[in-house]
Structures are given as structure tokens and as C-alpha cells.
Amino acid sequence: MIEPLAEHTPVLPEEVVRLLAPQPGEVVVDATVGAGGHACLLADAIGAGGVLYGLDVDSEALEIAAGRLAQCACRVSLHRCNFAGLGLILRESGVLGVDIILADLGVSSMQLANRQRGFSFSSEGLLDMRMDDRLETRACDLVNSLSEQQLADVIYKHSQERFSRRISKWICSARREGRITTTAQLVEVVCKALRVNPRSRRSKIHPATRTFQALRIAVNDELAALGKLLEQAPQYLNPGGRLGIISFHSLEDGMVKHDFRRRKDEELYEVLTKRPVIADQGERVANPRSRSAKLRVARRIARL
């Protein structure tokens, strides 16, 4: 049964438009088009003479984005692909340079709210976590097949969970009783490993937050994809072109910060955000997803 979709509210909308400064007639890539929220804002600014390329791995997201972007005056070209393949898509489309690239990383509210997708520890569903349902490996496949050491490494590497070894040990012992296939089963095992009651609010975050984040990043190979996007971006940005990345955890933000710093040293980028831009109090209250969002923007200043 398909559940009703949650609305996705774009984070930092004013800051994205202010810092990326889209101009009439420009060419924009929204590398994570999602529900099309940021894309619509950028599309309105580039107007009838502009072109917007929207990428997403999730076919449901692309359907929603297509519906919303149909109202926009600019030319819109949507592609079901991973932004790790940005260069290929642009070359196939005959595009040599673009003026703006935006990536708003991670999952959308629609993906989180759809319990069949298995992203959320707060609703029961199959432990899937694939943003792209063409991928072969789901979170439950990792949880049931990796060795105790591999699982501990996956959890630690993608979330810095302090108790990764203990969690992995408990998962491996639980799966000897039968496969772990649902989000609720995983939450139960993690809570037992950490000796916490999931309903007691001793810490600000749910005890399974880091384990879920780690598995999601591993299933979707998110850090490798971000690395490839950062690597390719300067090749495709026109001089003066802007690259904006919105990240939601320190691993991603660290990658973006270091990449921008390296390109600045190579005299390829001017960094427009000395510190990451974060949501103000009003947005944090209105849109809880924005609380961990960090936006960094760089401008291309030279040819490669």
C-alpha cells in the first residue's frame, strides 16, 4: 500500500537564492531535485531563457518534481541518475558549462515518511533504505550478512557511533535467532545494546539515530557520490559559476569544507561562505529538518 506523501519543505530557501544568485538565462543543475522546492525557486529566477537540469536517483521524487516544475517558464530536463555521474549526464546533453550546481544532500521528508522505504526509526517498515530502488543491497542485507567486525566498521565509519562494536555484537547475536528485517527489530536490538529505553528521553537524539544514519550512508554509498560530485564540479562550472552544497552531518560538511579549501588554494574557487550558513530560529521551529542543515557556497574563478 502506498502511503500519502509528506510535504517536503526546502531548507534555507532565502540563503540558497541569495548566495547562488541565479540570473535570467542561466543554466542550473539541481543535483538532488527531490520535490522540486529549491528547483522551483531557481527556475523562477532564471526565467524563460534559462535551463534547469534536475537529477535524482528516486523515480517517485522525479515524478513530483516534474509536476511542480511544469509551471515554470524555463526549459526543464529531468534525469534519473546519481549525481556521481554529473559529467556524463551533462556531456550526453551537450552541455559544456553550467552557472549553478546545487546539492541538498540526504533524504527528503517524503522518503523518511514512507515507512516502506525503511529510513525511519520511528515507524515500522522493511529495513530497506535504498534511495534508488535499482540498487541490489538493502540495509537488511548488510545487517544480516556482514561479519561482526565489518558491521562495527560500517557503523563507526559512517556515524562515529561510540558504541559501534557493542551494537554490532548485539546485532550478530540477535540475527542468530532469525533475520533482522524491520526497522523496529533493529531499533530494539540497538536499544538493548545501549541499555536504553527508546521512549525515555535521556538524550536529545534517539538512541538508534547514528546506526540508522550509518546504514543509510553505506547502502547508498553517499560519501563516495559526494566525493565524485565535488571532484567533477569545477570542470563543469563556467567562470563565475556557483556551487552550493547543503549537508546534514559532519562527515559530509567536512568533505565540502576541505574540498572548497583545496580549490581555493588552487585558485579555482572563491569561498562565499567563510562559515557554513545555518537556519535561523524561525526556520528551525517551522522546519525541524533545517536544524542540522549547513550550506556552503563557492564561486568558480578560473578555467582549469
Asked if 168 and 151 touch (Cβ cutoff 8 Å), the reply is: yes
Q: Is 247 in the site for ligand SAM (CB under 6 A)?
A: no
Single-letter code of the amino acid located at 282: G
Q: Is 58 in the site for ligand SAM (CB under 6 A)?
A: yes
> Closest-CB residue for ligand SAM?
34
Nearest-angstrom CA–CA distance, 113 and 253: 24
Rg from Cα positions in the chain: 20
CA dihedral 173, 176, 182, 183 (to 10 degrees): 10
Asked if 140 and 126 touch (Cβ cutoff 8 Å), the reply is: yes
Q: Look up cell 538524550; give the residue.
A: 203
Which position among 82, 159, 185, 232 is part of the footprint of ligand SAM (CB under 6 A)? 82
Q: Is 158 in the site for ligand SAM (CB under 6 A)?
A: no
Q: Is 129 in the site for ligand SAM (CB under 6 A)?
A: no
Which position among 12, 52, 69, 108 is part of the footprint of ligand SAM (CB under 6 A)? 108
Q: Is 32 in the site for ligand SAM (CB under 6 A)?
A: yes
Q: Is 287 in the site for ligand SAM (CB under 6 A)?
A: no
Minimal distance, residue 244 CB to ligand SAM, in Å: 11
Q: Is 216 in the site for ligand SAM (CB under 6 A)?
A: no
Residue 239: Cβ within 10 Å count: 11
Asked if 251 and 225 touch (Cβ cutoff 8 Å), the reply is: no
Of 55 and 101, nearer to ligand SAM (C-beta) is 55
Q: Is 293 in the site for ligand SAM (CB under 6 A)?
A: no
Minimal distance, residue 196 CB to ligand SAM, in Å: 29
Minimal distance, residue 109 CB to ligand SAM, in Å: 8
Q: Could you give the C-alpha distances from 144 to 138, 141, 185, 303, in angstroms and in order?
A: 10, 5, 12, 48
Q: Is 38 in the site for ligand SAM (CB under 6 A)?
A: yes
Minimal distance, residue 39 CB to ligand SAM, in Å: 7
Q: Is 290 in the site for ligand SAM (CB under 6 A)?
A: no
Which position among 35, 155, 190, 208 is part of the footprint of ligand SAM (CB under 6 A)? 35
Nearest-angstrom CA–CA distance, 180 and 21: 47
Q: Is 108 left (phi over 0), alpha (psi -120 to 50) or beta?
A: beta
Q: Of all helices (H) and strands (E), which one includes residue 299?
A: strand 294-300
Stretch that binds ligand SAM, among 20-28, 57-65, 164-172, 268-276 (CB under 6 A): 57-65
Stretch that binds ligand SAM, among 101-109, 164-172, 183-191, 193-201 (CB under 6 A): 101-109
Q: Could you give the C-alpha distances from 65 to 40, 95, 101, in angstroms and in order?
A: 9, 22, 17
- Residues at the interface with ligand SAM (CB under 6 A): 8, 10, 32, 34-38, 55-58, 61, 82-84, 104, 106-108, 131, 225
